[in-house]
C-alpha cells in the first residue's frame, strides 16, 4: 500500500489533470488495487457498481484498516475528486457481481511543480 501525501499534489480540480480510466469486472473474488504501484499514478475518482441482485458488497479506500462502506444490491457508489491509491472491493462470496472504474492521474501530472 502506498502513502499519498496530498500536500505535495495539485488540487483535485486543477484543469491540467488528465486521468486514464481503468476498468475491472468482478464476481465473487475481492478486488484489491494500489494505483500507485500498479499504474504509476494516484486515483482521482472511483466508481463501484454492484450488479448483485441479492447481496450488498463492501469497500474501503485509503488503507487496509479503514472502515468498510456498504453498497446495496443493484446500486452504485461514486467517490469524486479525492486523491488516493488504495481500494479494496469485497463482493458477496457466492453471488457477487459488479464493476470497478478507477480514474488514475499519472504521478508527474499530479505532483506540484
What CATH number has the domain bearing residue 104? 2.60.120.10
Tell whether 11 is covered by a domain.
no
Tell whether 5 is covered by a domain.
no
Tell whether 88 is covered by a domain.
yes
Tell whether 78 is covered by a domain.
yes
pTM greater than the 0.95 cutoff: no
Q: How many distinct structural domains can be found in the chain?
A: 1
Sign of CA dihedral 76, 42, 91, 71: negative
Tell whether 3 is covered by a domain.
no
Going residue by residue through the chain (113 aa), what tens digit of pLDDT does each one get? 678 888 999 999 999 999 999 999 999 999 999 999 999 999 999 999 999 999 999 999 999 999 999 999 999 999 999 999 999 999 999 999 999 999 999 999 999 98
Give residue 29's domain range. 18-110
Tell whether 100 is covered by a domain.
yes
Amino acid at each position: 500500500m502506498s502513502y499519498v501525501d496530498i500536500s505535495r499534489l495539485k488540487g483535485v480540480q486543477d484543469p491540467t489533470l488528465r486521468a486514464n480510466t481503468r476498468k475491472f469486472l468482478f464476481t465473487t473474488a475481492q478486488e484489491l488495487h494500489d494505483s500507485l504501484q500498479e499504474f504509476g499514478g494516484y486515483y482521482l475518482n472511483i466508481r463501484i457498481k454492484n450488479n448483485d441482485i441479492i447481496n450488498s458488497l463492501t469497500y474501503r479506500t485509503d488503507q487496509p484498516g479503514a472502515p468498510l462502506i456498504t453498497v446495496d444490491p443493484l446500486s452504485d457508489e461514486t467517490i469524486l475528486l479525492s486523491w488516493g491509491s488504495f481500494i479494496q472491493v469485497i463482493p458477496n462470496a457466492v453471488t457477487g457481481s459488479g464493476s470497478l472504474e478507477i480514474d488514475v492521474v499519472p504521478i508527474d501530472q499530479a505532483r506540484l511543480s
